[in-house]
Structure 1
């Protein structure tokens, strides 16, 4: 496990997950962002501009945690590494977008992804923060607001073994933002900006941390039609392109029952 410690940060922070190859969403995020920028990973996924998203992220000096997509592309692997059950909608649909991304990303980008940390840590407002992708035990672990307490306890135990005590964990991967208190640790999922959170609206979301340490989730409005156009041009019309407009995932079967429509 590679841990990158940023030291003590002050002022506002902007934390966001999953641009998912959606350059329009990333550009809107960068225009709205304040202070240091941290991404929970999965720069590349469903949408049509993987090369552009990687380049823009590098230019913007974003601190990036390695997601499963970064790890798989760096390893020249043939799938996204999410561990979807065979035959599920996510499993079937991931083949097309990952193949497109795998053909689009150059060797320089893969090498850069291979050097990204698994965990980013820092201090802010007298608290210790750790930023991860899915889980510490498994980068692609899906953790939801309704996940069993045991899941969070397992991850916090693994994190403490690597880094020591923390006050706040910020994660991504699952695609839907939430906050949950686990004993004395605040677990915050920052959501993703590249795909709506299955809430029937096209807006996505990201996390703002104020200079005083307060958390605030903000909605992101961006050029959805432009993102859809990129997907159509790339031949990525298996259902995620319409999800950008409707706010409904074609892969609802990945969700726990309480988060389905």
Structure 2
């Protein structure tokens, strides 16, 4: 059995297409989409493309899906978002059709699979108990134990912070899949995981960054230029992101 874990696509359709091209060769039994699928330059196009796949797909709800559905329902003001995040969320919501809104609204928060040699594997967006809590390899073990309390599975696959890493929290192996569409890493690309009989493999798929950036700039996305420059062409490193997240968490 092989499972491909694609997290945090963020409407980056060129990156998604590149990964799916790789998966045509690998032929996984299932693709798990780990949330934050559409919140980016090509929201409805990304959802439409995924719905047309022949491969079995299990999609999870991330914080972005929850926020976009809330905005679609006219309740954006109830979310505690920054001005920029609110603008993006509203823009994405306005581009979804009612049936697409319903798809996002009914996504599960997590899913489990059992297979050798990994045992029971839980997929969630951020943590098993939250779609928005942030943790990194710099997070103290005491806090990690609190975040993963009560988890019975041997392995947890998560995302949300857009960087690939692995941690051991008590008896639980915690692995971040990274991000297909907005990664924090040493070099640009689309980052994802493959789970199979050989264990868990970190993957990075290269794609035409200049072409993707050019398409994003024509998307009408409110922060198109920033997305092209900072999430496709030149991306933050995992070290920079970890330090930022830990400072933000410490500041409350």
TM-score (norm 2): 0.83
Cα separation, 1, equivalents of 2:88 and 2:78: 9
Cα separation, 1, equivalents of 2:109 and 2:142: 22
Cα separation, 2, equivalents of 1:31 and 1:151: 39
Counterpart in the other structure of 1:65:
60
Counterpart in the other structure of 1:255:
245
Q: Is the 8 A contact 1:18 1:194 kept in 2?
A: yes
Q: Is the 8 A contact 1:80 1:94 kept in 2?
A: no
Which of 33, 40, 53 matches 2:46? 53
Counterpart in the other structure of 2:4:
14
Number of residue pairs matched by the alignment = 232
SS in structure 1 of the partner of residue 201 of structure 2: strand
TM-score (norm 1): 0.80
By relative contact order (CA 8 Å, sep 6+), the higher-ranking structure is 1
SS in structure 1 of the partner of residue 229 of structure 2: helix
- Cα–Cα, structure 1 residues 79 and 197, in superposed 2: closer, same or farther, change >3 Å? farther
Q: Residue 80 of structure 1: CA displacement?
A: 11
Alignment of 1:1-261 (within 5 A): 11-33=1-23, 34=26, 35=28, 36-46=30-40, 48-60=41-53, 61-75=56-70, 76=73, 77-78=75-76, 91-125=82-116, 127-158=119-150, 160=151, 165-199=152-186, 201-212=187-198, 214-233=199-218, 234-235=220-221, 236-237=223-224, 239-243=226-230, 244-248=232-236, 254-256=244-246
Q: Which runs of 5+ in 1 are unaligned?
A: 1-10, 85-90
Cα separation, 2, equivalents of 1:112 and 1:79: 22
| Greater mean deviation of Cα atoms: 182-191 or 231-240 | 231-240
Cα separation, 1, equivalents of 2:78 and 2:116: 36
Q: Residue 238 of structure 1: CA displacement?
A: 5.2
Cα separation, 2, equivalents of 1:238 and 1:80: 28
- Cα–Cα, structure 1 residues 79 and 150, in superposed 2: closer, same or farther, change >3 Å? farther
SS in structure 2 of the partner of residue 239 of structure 1: helix
Q: Residue 95 of structure 1: CA displacement?
A: 3.3
Q: Residue 217 of structure 1: CA displacement?
A: 0.5
- Cα–Cα, structure 1 residues 254 and 96, in superposed 2: closer, same or farther, change >3 Å? farther
Q: Is the 8 A contact 1:145 1:178 kept in 2?
A: yes
Q: Is the 8 A contact 1:13 1:209 kept in 2?
A: yes
